[in-house]
Amino acid sequence: MVVERLETCVGNGLFREISALEAEKRGMKLLGDKFVGEFGEYLLVQKHEKDHEFGSGGYSKFFSEIYRNGKRILETLDYSSWITTSDDSMDYSGKASKFTILHEEEEFGRAIINAIKKLNPIKLSPTVA
């Protein structure tokens, strides 16, 4: 389900910092990859995948997700690809996508997405219910 989608994202490091600040405001602590507090715990998953070699094209994908009780609450993605279209071995920009999605309406996820909105003067897509 998509509650709200932003056509922007923040990097993995900043996403982690924003999440930690919002968790701290709610009495939670970041322990490894989990936010733990009186009201339960959230799992933070962050990855950077890349397969890019100059002259051959490829991609780079940064993403972060927050889960509670096995359900994805929030995700953010920054994806870029490069293509090589000729024999000159030059890489050219291919597809690019940046977004943040709130999947479940709940306080912690909402606080994080609102903090991201404050950082970015962004174009918002319509809320989907």
Question: Distance between CA 93 and CA 80 in Å, rounded?
Answer: 8
Note whether residue 106 is domain-resident. Answer: yes
Note whether residue 125 is domain-resident. Answer: no
Note whether residue 110 is domain-resident. Answer: yes
Model confidence over 48-105: pLDDT tens digits? 998 866 667 788 899 999 999 999 999 999 998 888 766 666 777 888 899 999 999 9
CB 73 within 8 A of CB 59: no
Q: How many structural domains comprise the chain?
A: 1
Note whether residue 80 is domain-resident. Answer: yes
Question: Distance between CA 9 and CA 78 in Å, rounded?
Answer: 7
Q: How much is the pTM?
A: 0.80
Note whether residue 127 is domain-resident. Answer: no
* Domain that residue 26 falls in: 4-119
Note whether residue 124 is domain-resident. Answer: no
Note whether residue 126 is domain-resident. Answer: no
Calculate what percentage of the chain has a pLDDT beyond 70: 84
Q: How far is CA 71 from CA 7, 61, 102, in A?
A: 22, 22, 12
